[in-house]
């Protein structure tokens, strides 16, 4: 586990925060730098690896077995969320965690508190890697990156372990929804794949939200407020009126399991013009489409009140529920469950309240469930990962490889 820890700490030291405003791929120089590092390390192991134009490292470990087996792929992403800084991460390594609150930043009195995150106590006695209280950690998904690099080294150092063709991919810009943009499935070479981008130990995602962006623009009518009577339209207040039409019980903080939501993600502008971006999420495709229609109807209703084209809304579908594709290849789920049981891990199969590169890849022709990498509290200063969970993820993946070659 020391080697796995060293890898993880080395990878999170590279600031790979993605940039949703950039049209480049990768969107930031830090991602390109880490992709170069990974390609170099793989090549040093004697593994064929190259950086593809779409901003990903593809690597191939040839089969050493004469058995006819499917080519398996494993995928992780190098970028971290743009929501919280990923620069100058001061990770804390807590050995033999005592089950109490963890002080992250003494000067700012920032704690990782058990009262706020009761799941911490499940890891008493284990080694936790936490943030320093001012940045995210980067376990999403550098834990997955470290695990797959550990796999690559393991397979090269254990030639006696039979396996089929193994393909690894390290992608960029997953956090901005562009992770598999231009992903060349044929060049990748796998018949089936797993992303290693999940949360707590045992998590196995075989279904996920349908996801879309709704970009709302409101055109106000700005003028001197002293002469605004019956003429002034404050775009900021109009957006508030639009938001008030959405159900209070259908927000991220008031929903769980398969319940969908509307999430006001960004808001900016002034009295003359304002924009908002909503994330729309639902596991059920029909309800997902209804949510988009509901927003569109609300914009139309307010346009009748304030004038045509005051509200305009544009939708961009991001991904769909992977289960519609995964269920056609249920062996992927069965083998992942068996691999976890072999590693002494209790499988946790539940609807993922998010999306992964695997969701999009599944619809592109590469069925791709998602396996845990061990992290918690992603996209926040309270992110942490138990090293033992990362080790178990590695063991599960090795078991999957063995099962497909049995």
In the structure encoding, which two tokens stand for residue 165, read together?
A: 């063709």
pTM: predicted TM-score of the whole model, two decimal places? 0.86
Residue with the two structure tokens 């040839």: 62
At residue 319, the 3 state secondary structure works out as: strand
**Residues in the chain, pLDDT under 50:** none
CB within 8 Å of 59: residues ≥ 6 apart: 39, 42, 47, 48, 49, 50, 152, 167, 168, 169
Q: What is the pLDDT of residue 223?
A: 65
CATH 3.30.70.360 domain range(s) in the chain: 210-319
Q: Evaluate whether 331 touches 395 at the Cβ level (below 8 Å).
A: no
pLDDT in tens, 194-236: 999 989 999 999 999 999 999 999 998 776 677 667 667 899 9
* Mean per-residue pLDDT of the chain: 95
Count Cβ atoms below 10 Å from residue 362 Cβ, excluding itself.
29
Query: Cα–Cα distances in Å, from 276 out to 67, 87, 225, 252, 313?
Result: 55, 27, 24, 17, 9
Contact 77, 25 (CB under 8 A): no
The confidence score (pLDDT) of residue 347 equals: 97
Hey, which residues are catalytic here?
79, 174
The 384-386 sheet, strands edge to edge: 92-94, 128-130, 384-386
CA distance 163 to 152: 12
Residue 231: the pLDDT is 67
In the chain, where does the domain assigned CATH 3.40.630.10 lie?
A: 2-207+321-403
User: At the fourth CATH level, which superfamily is domain 2-207+321-403?
Assistant: Zn peptidases (3.40.630.10)
Q: Tell me, which fold does domain 210-319 have in CATH?
A: Alpha-Beta Plaits (3.30.70)
């Amino acid at each position: 586990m020391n080697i796995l820890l060293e890898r993880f700490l080395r990878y999170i030291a590279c600031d790979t925060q993605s940039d949703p405003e950039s049209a480049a791929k990768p969107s930031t120089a830090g991602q390109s730098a880490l992709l170069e590092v990974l390609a170099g390390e793989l090549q040093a192991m004697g593994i064929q690896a190259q950086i593809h134009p779409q901003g990903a490292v593809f690597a191939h470990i040839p089969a050493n077995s004469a058995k006819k087996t499917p080519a398996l792929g494993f995928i992780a992403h190098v970028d971290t969320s743009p929501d919280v800084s990923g620069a100058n991460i001061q990770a804390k390594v807590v050995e033999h965690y005592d089950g109490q609150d963890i002080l992250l930043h003494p000067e700012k009195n920032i704690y990782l508190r058990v009262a706020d995150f009761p799941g911490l106590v499940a890891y008493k006695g284990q080694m936790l890697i936490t943030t320093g209280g001012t940045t995210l950690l980067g376990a999403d998904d550098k834990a997955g990156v470290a695990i797959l690099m550990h796999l690559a080294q393991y397979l090269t150092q254990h030639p006696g372990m039979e396996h089929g063709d193994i393909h690894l991919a390290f992608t960029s810009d997953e956090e901005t929804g562009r992770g598999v943009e231009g992903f060349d499935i044929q060049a990748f070479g796998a018949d089936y794949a797993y992303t290693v981008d999940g949360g707590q130990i045992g998590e196995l995602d075989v279904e996920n939200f349908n996801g879309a962006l709704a970009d709302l623009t409101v055109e106000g009518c700005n003028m001197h407020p002293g002469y605004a009577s019956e003429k002034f339209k404050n775009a900021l207040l109009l957006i508030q009126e639009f938001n008030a039409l959405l159900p209070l019980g259908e927000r991220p903080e008031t929903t769980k399991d398969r319940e969908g939501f509307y999430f006001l993600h960004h808001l900016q502008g002034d009295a003359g013009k304002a924009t908002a971006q909503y994330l729309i999420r639902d596991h059920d495709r029909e309800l997902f489409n209804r949510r988009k229609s509901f927003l569109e109807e609300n914009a139309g209703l307010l346009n009748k009140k304030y004038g045509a084209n005051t509200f305009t809304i544009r939708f961009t579908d991001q991904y769909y529920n992977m289960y519609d594709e995964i269920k056609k290849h249920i062996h992927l789920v069965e083998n992942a469950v068996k691999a976890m049981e072999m590693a002494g891990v209790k499988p946790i199969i539940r609807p993922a309240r998010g999306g992964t590169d695997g969701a999009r890849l599944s619809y592109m022709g590469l069925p791709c469930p998602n396996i845990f990498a061990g992290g918690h509290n992603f996209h926040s200063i309270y992110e942490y990962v138990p090293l033992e969970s990362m080790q178990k993820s590695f063991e599960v993946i090795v078991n999957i490889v063995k099962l497909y070659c049995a």
